[in-house]
Amino acid sequence: MNNYSDVHVLKESLLTDRAATALAETFRVLGDVTRVRILDALARSELCVGDIADLLGLSESAISHQLRVLRGMRLVRPRRAGQSIFYALDDHHIVRLFEQTLKHVQERGSSESSREAAVGEVADQRDGRERL
């Protein structure tokens, strides 16, 4: 891809500044452990604030604050039922994003575990030889 025209074509297909900023902001919001735990719970079931608070062991106030942030990014949506407000993931894109990211983390974790195990075996072998 050293050809100027190839680079020019590639440049034309890159994200706009606006799209890149929106994407970065979404990932920033997803970079909070509490929000990830909320999304995990909502990926499994529609829940009200009290239920989420009980599940995660946090105050309803803390959950409400995080839900406001997630709602602002259109990651979750509310549904009123009488006096209660239930939350769910906004759409199938959020579910897929969450599932794909989790799969990536799990795959990375298993490869890191394999690497750590191999390093541990080498260290054990080295320690065994040193004792001989």
pLDDT at 37 over 80: yes
Residues 6 or more apart whose Cβ sits within 8 Å of residue 25: 73
Structurally, how many domains does the chain consist of?
1
One-letter amino acid at 11 equals K
Answer yes or no: is 15 within a domain: yes
**pLDDT tier for residue 6 given thresholds of 50, 70 and 90:** confident
Answer yes or no: is 26 within a domain: yes
Spatial contact of 120 and 113, defined as CB atoms under 8 Å apart: no
- Identify the H or E element spanning 31: none
Domain range for 14: 3-115
Looking at residues 63-72, what average pLDDT do you find? 98
Of residues 11 and 89, the one with the higher pLDDT is 89
DSSP annotation of 58: -
One-letter amino acid at 42 equals L
Q: Which CATH number characterizes residue 70's domain?
A: 1.10.10.10
- How does strand 47-48 pair with strand 76-81? unpaired
pLDDT at position 11 is 86
pLDDT at position 131 is 39
Answer yes or no: is 58 within a domain: yes
Answer yes or no: is 125 within a domain: no
Answer yes or no: is 131 within a domain: no
Spatial contact of 41 and 87, defined as CB atoms under 8 Å apart: no
Cross-sheet strand order for the sheet of 76-81: 47-48, 84-89, 76-81
Mean pLDDT for all residues in the chain: 86
Q: Is the pTM of this model over 0.95?
A: no
Of residues 27 and 126, the one with the higher pLDDT is 27
Reported as a single tens digit per residue, the pLDDT across 84-129 is 999 999 988 888 988 898 899 999 887 766 555 555 554 555 455 4
Answer yes or no: is 122 within a domain: no
For the residues of 70-82, what is the DSSP string, one character each? HHHTTSEEEEEET
